Amino acid sequence: MRRGDIGPRDERLRAPNIRAVPSPRAVESTEGPAFDVTLFRLTPAAEAGFFPARALRLARLPFRVGRLPAAGEAQPVEVNDLQLSDTQPFNVSRNHFAIERGPDGVQVRDRGSYVGTIVNRVQIGGHHHVAFMPLAVGENEVVAGSPRSPFRFRVVVALRLPNSCPDQELHPACRD
């Protein structure tokens, strides 16, 4: 096969993504501790939905991340809050990962991506048997795709104090 030819693996990636993983563990309740979650781009490839901001404060969860469809591809199963521009061979699926409330805090859920997601150096989704990974309070790293993927993010999770307003001053890591 010559470089640029479409092989069987590429055809699987171009097929409609029917592997989207619903989240039986996602918690939409406002009960329990409240969290402020901020997403930072770590690489130029990850900045597509950020420009001109350095960071995105996630006002609501779940927050869905996926790839813009290539020509001739169907739209993602769920609407993405952040759409990344990728080229073949794709690192990012149209329905890649979500940051959401979990039973014990905030978690990342792989949404049925082909390559998977890396959370704090642990691979989830793709060909791995784990689809969820909790995020620690503090700094976390999330990579959409393989270890070589250029789509890298820092996710800062902060416990919101009682009686605090989510619109008050950003977490210290968010300030320039």
What's the rounded Cα separation, in Å, for the pair 92 and 42?
16
| Mean pLDDT, residues 142-152 | 95
Q: Which of 161, 122, 144, 120 is nearest to 35 (CA)?
A: 161
Q: Give the model's pLDDT for residue 134.
A: 97
- What are 58-70's pLDDT values in tens digits? 989 999 999 988 8
Q: What is the pLDDT of residue 72?
A: 85
End-to-end alpha carbon distance in the chain: 48
Q: CATH number, domain at 151?
A: 2.60.200.20
Is residue 116 predicted with pLDDT exceeding 50? yes
pLDDT confidence of residue 51: 62
* Domain count across the chain: 1
* Average pLDDT of the segment spanning 84-102: 93
Is 175 within the bounds of a domain?
no
Measured CA to CA, the distance from residue 21 to residue 4 in angstroms comes to 30
For residue 87, what are the domain limits? 8-162
Q: Is residue 167 part of a domain?
A: no
Assign 104 a pLDDT band (cuts: 50, 70, 90).
confident
E strand or H helix at 40, and its extent? strand 34-41
**Strand order, beta sheet including 55-57:** 55-57, 34-41, 152-160, 138-144, 117-119, 122-124
42 within domain boundaries: yes
What rounded mean pLDDT belongs to the chain? Answer: 78
Who has greater pLDDT, 23 or 141?
141
168 assigned to some structural domain? no
In a domain, 115, yes or no: yes
Is residue 174 one of the residues assigned to a domain? no
Q: Quote the pLDDT of residue 128.
A: 84
Residue 171 resides in a domain = no
